[in-house]
């Protein structure tokens, strides 16, 4: 008997994995209205609080008045506007690369870039905890995929020796998140750069959660590690710390040309509209100012306080230093009970379950913002501890 959609949904529900959307009214700020209730936001990627920044809003409004509301076509037809080129030039200068190319989203970037670089006969070495969009990009490429243990560069070195000795031909790509979105830890980029050079590989870093946040100028995990010039593809997004939408690849001029001609998500999509491009451009400029530096320092302080407070209270917190602070619970059902109980108390923290994280590692993923006050975070910790004790999590 054919399985119905209802059967499939019932199976998802029975496994404790059924997902529902929650509606936010108003701006994405430190405090929002969610499903009709005023709550503190603890699960947004709006790390620097730029999603409602006046400079970004003003830039968007001015762009609509000058350029209208749509690009009208894909980039290779008539959809490349002056703002696309201005944003790409600004990104290249910001990241210290020869060139840059804008994509419509992080998922579109990864599923476009990877198949453009590798295919049948090539090999990709991918961190086991890489983002789903990287996995999708590898699958679309048809290249041989070798997953290495999370952040284990020594294990990667062994795997590269083995697989590259057996298959000496073809292109080799190492790909990793810069900041891992569910654990909040940072990739060992210095060691990955050494392996790239040792084996003549390309190195791609998805820095969606590091861009704007890490490094003295907010250039991301590569700047923090001092290896920006050695990374072939620095992918990042405008929709997290930069408060806008879309993504980019910071690359050499030669790789940019290849992506323009081979990346299907770039070739076959209507390009980003003027309002989004202008907001992204304003954000790239803002994070390099004194205000950007102040916001990064505020965010780093908030993250330290929150992480240390939860660890001191006895919660299971993975090692990390970034603004992503998860409490690993294990059970999907308990995780969602925890999330629902916090929402009742006025704190919006989304539960994360498989397939986003491995089975048995369901968690509450807290994300800090520069616009959270110390009083906000102190009250949140009190409620988290109270709910955690009630559920037997701590």
Residues tagged active-site: 181, 209, 240
Q: Supply the angle between the helices 253-262 and 106-117 in degrees, to the nearest 10.
A: 100
Q: Supply the angle between the helices 274-286 and 54-67 in degrees, to the nearest 10.
A: 140
The Cα–Cα gap between 314 and 113 comes to 42
Secondary structure letter of residue 323 according to DSSP:
S
| Tokens, residue 391 | 């559920």
The Cα–Cα gap between 394 and 389 comes to 5
Contact 198, 230 (CB under 8 A): no
Contact 99, 88 (CB under 8 A): yes
The Cα–Cα gap between 93 and 79 comes to 23
The Cα–Cα gap between 117 and 172 comes to 9
Q: What is the DSSP string of 145-198?
A: EEEE-TT-HHHHHHHHHHHHHH--SS-EEEEEESB-TTT--B--HHHHHHHHHH
Strands of the 202-206 sheet, one edge to the other: 99-103, 247-251, 233-237, 202-206, 172-177, 123-127, 144-148
The Cα–Cα gap between 115 and 226 comes to 28
Residues 6+ apart with CB under 8 A from 236: 95, 206, 207, 208, 210, 211, 220, 247, 248, 250
Tell me which residue has tokens 């090692």. 319
């Amino acid at each position: 008997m054919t399985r119905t959609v209802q059967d499939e949904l019932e199976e998802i529900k029975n496994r404790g994995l059924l997902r529902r959307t929650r509606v936010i009214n108003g701006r994405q700020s430190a405090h929002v209205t969610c499903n009709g209730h005023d709550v503190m936001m603890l699960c947004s990627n709006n790390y620097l609080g730029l999603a409602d920044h006046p400079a970004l809003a003003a830039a968007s409004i001015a762009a609509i008045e000058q350029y209208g509301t749509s690009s009208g076509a894909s980039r290779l037809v008539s959809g490349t506007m002056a703002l696309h080129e201005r944003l790409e030039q600004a990104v290249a200068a910001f990241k210290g690369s020869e060139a840059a190319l804008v994509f419509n989203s992080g998922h579109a970037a990864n599923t476009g870039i990877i198949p453009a670089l590798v295919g049948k006969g090539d090999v990709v070495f991918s961190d086991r905890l890489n983002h789903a969009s990287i996995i999708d990009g590898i699958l679309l490429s048809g290249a041989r995929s070798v997953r290495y243990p999370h952040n284990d560069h020594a294990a990667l070195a062994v795997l590269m020796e083995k697989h590259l000795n057996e298959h000496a031909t073809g292109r080799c790509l190492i790909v990793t998140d810069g900041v891992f979105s569910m654990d909040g830890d940072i990739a060992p980029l210095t060691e990955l750069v050494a392996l790239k050079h040792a084996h003549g590989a390309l190195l791609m870093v998805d820095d969606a959660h590091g861009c704007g946040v890490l490094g003295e100028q907010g250039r991301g995990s590569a700047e923090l590690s001092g290896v920006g010039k050695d990374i072939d593809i620095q992918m990042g997004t405008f929709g997290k710390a930069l408060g806008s939408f879309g993504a980019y690849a910071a690359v050499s001029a030669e790789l940019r040309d290849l992506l323009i001609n081979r990346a299907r998500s770039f070739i076959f999509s209507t390009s980003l509209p003027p309002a989004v491009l202008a907001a992204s451009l304003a954000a790239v400029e803002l994070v390099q100012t004194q205000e950007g530096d102040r916001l990064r320092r505020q965010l780093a302080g908030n993250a330290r306080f929150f992480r240390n407070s939860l660890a001191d209270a006895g919660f299971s917190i993975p090692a990390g230093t970034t603004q992503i602070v998860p409490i690993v619970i294990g059970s999907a059902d308990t995780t969602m009970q925890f999330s629902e109980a916090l929402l009742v108390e006025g704190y919006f923290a989304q539960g994360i379950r498989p397939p986003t994280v491995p089975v048995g590692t369901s968690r509450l993923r807290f994300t800090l913002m520069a616009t959270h006050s110390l009083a906000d975070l102190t009250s949140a910790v009190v409620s988290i501890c109270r709910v955690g004790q009630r559920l037997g999590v701590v």
